[in-house]
């Protein structure tokens, strides 16, 4: 056990049984602590602002403000820059996933995820990595890559690649594979600290909000292919 503070989590879901189930699964981890719960998007945003958690587990379909709008609100709030949202839902349609990514979610998981994967998902997102359920990642990213209107709507995306070095391009390809910084370090035989530095440079040079955005750029520009 380390001396690091526990990962602070807020759960937003309109079903009490779901919230209780998530709490039960997360309470088994000594490094994770639930600090707030809410039953809809509006109260969820209020809870997040009050608690300043590291991670939010956000349902999509809720009465009033839904999870997509709540995620957009949280991501747009500069005072919550340290908070990352994982969208958790029973639905796995492309539209829901794309909406969640566009809203700024750092991760997407189906509600049938088991306890071990849920806890690990919280840890992955808390340390700054992107997370997409393996069952949906390839399908969704292929749709993003094939949607040429996105590239036409952002004509400078490909041009930004001219700003990165060959080594940074290699790192971008590994990010596109969904690898963590430690995995990139092992793949390219560099230190984890160096991998983090390269990812930070890519975020800046490519004007990407987060690692999810880097993954999308990697596929849109052909740096990473299926």
Return the pLDDT at 152.
45
Are residues 112 and 42 located together in one domain of the fold? yes
Residue 167 lies in a domain: yes
Are residues 61 and 159 located together in one domain of the fold? no
Are residues 180 and 89 located together in one domain of the fold? no
Are residues 91 and 196 located together in one domain of the fold? no
**Residue by residue, what is the 3-state secondary structure of the chain?**
CCCCCCEEEEEECCCHHHHHHHHHHHCCCCCEEEEEEECCHHHHHHHHHHHCCCEEEECCCCCCCCHHHHHHHHHHCHHHCCCEEEEEECCCCHHHHHHHHHHCCCEEEECCCCHHHHHHHHHHHHCCCCEECHHHHHHHHHHHHHCHHHHHHCCHHHHHHHHCCHHHHHHHHHHHCCCCHHHHHHHHCCCHHHHHHHHHHHHHHCCCCCHHHHHHHHHHCCCCCC
Residue 104 lies in a domain: yes
Neighbour order of strands in the sheet with 131-132: 32-38, 7-12, 55-58, 84-89, 107-110, 131-132
Are residues 136 and 52 located together in one domain of the fold? yes
Q: Which of 112, 141, 170 is at the close of a domain? A: 141
Residue 131 lies in a domain: yes
pLDDT (tens digit, 0 to 9) for every residue of the chain, 226 residues total? 457 899 999 999 999 999 999 999 999 999 999 999 999 999 999 999 999 999 999 999 898 999 999 999 999 999 998 999 999 888 766 677 778 877 888 888 888 888 998 999 899 889 877 776 555 555 665 665 555 444 444 556 667 788 899 999 999 998 887 777 888 999 999 999 999 999 999 989 988 877 777 877 887 777 765 4
Place of tokens 């930070």: 200
How many domains are contained in the chain? 2
Return the pLDDT at 40.
95
CATH code of 76's domain: 3.40.50.2300
Are residues 118 and 163 located together in one domain of the fold? no
Are residues 107 and 176 located together in one domain of the fold? no
Return the pLDDT at 75.
92
**What Cα–Cα distance (Å) separates residue 16 from each residue in 7, 13, 19, 143?**
22, 7, 5, 34
Are residues 25 and 134 located together in one domain of the fold? yes
Are residues 118 and 200 located together in one domain of the fold? no
66-70 long-range Cβ contacts below 8 angstroms, 24+ apart: 66/41, 67/12, 67/41, 67/100, 68/99, 68/100, 68/103, 69/41, 69/103, 70/12, 70/41, 70/42, 70/44, 70/45
Are residues 128 and 159 located together in one domain of the fold? no
Are residues 53 and 162 located together in one domain of the fold? no
Q: Which of 90, 121, 141 is at the close of a domain? A: 141
Are residues 137 and 38 located together in one domain of the fold? yes
- 113: number of Cβ within 10 Å: 16
CA pair distance 153, 160, nearest whole angstrom: 14
Residue 2 lies in a domain: no
Structural domain harbouring 137: 7-141
Residue 146 lies in a domain: no
CATH code of 159's domain: 1.10.10.10
Return the pLDDT at 86.
92
CA 80-35-81 angle, 5° bins: 10
Strand partners, 62: none
């Amino acid at each position: 056990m380390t001396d690091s503070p526990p990962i602070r989590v807020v759960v937003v879901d309109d079903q009490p049984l779901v919230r209780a189930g998530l709490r039960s699964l997360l309470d088994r981890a000594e490094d994770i602590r639930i600090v707030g719960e809410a039953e809809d998007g509006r109260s969820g945003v209020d809870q997040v602002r009050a608690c300043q958690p590291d991670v939010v587990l956000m349902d999509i379909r809720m009465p009033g403000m839904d999870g997509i709008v709540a995620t957009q609100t949280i991501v747009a709030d500069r005072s919550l820059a340290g908070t990352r949202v994982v969208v958790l839902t029973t639905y796995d349609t492309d539209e829901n996933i794309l909406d969640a990514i566009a809203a700024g979610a750092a991760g997407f998981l189906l509600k049938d995820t088991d306890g071990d994967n849920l806890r690990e998902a919280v840890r992955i997102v808390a340390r700054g990595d992107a997370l997409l359920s393996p069952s949906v990642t390839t399908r969704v990213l292929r749709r993003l890559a094939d949607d040429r209107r996105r590239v036409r709507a952002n004509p400078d995306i490909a041009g930004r690649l001219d700003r990165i070095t060959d080594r940074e391009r290699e790192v971008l390809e590994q990010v596109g594979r969904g690898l963590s910084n430690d995995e990139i370090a092992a793949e390219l035989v560099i230190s984890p600290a160096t991998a983090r530095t390269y990812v930070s440079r890519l975020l800046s040079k490519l004007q990407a909000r987060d690692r999810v955005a880097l993954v999308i750029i990697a596929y849109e520009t052909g740096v990473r292919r299926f």
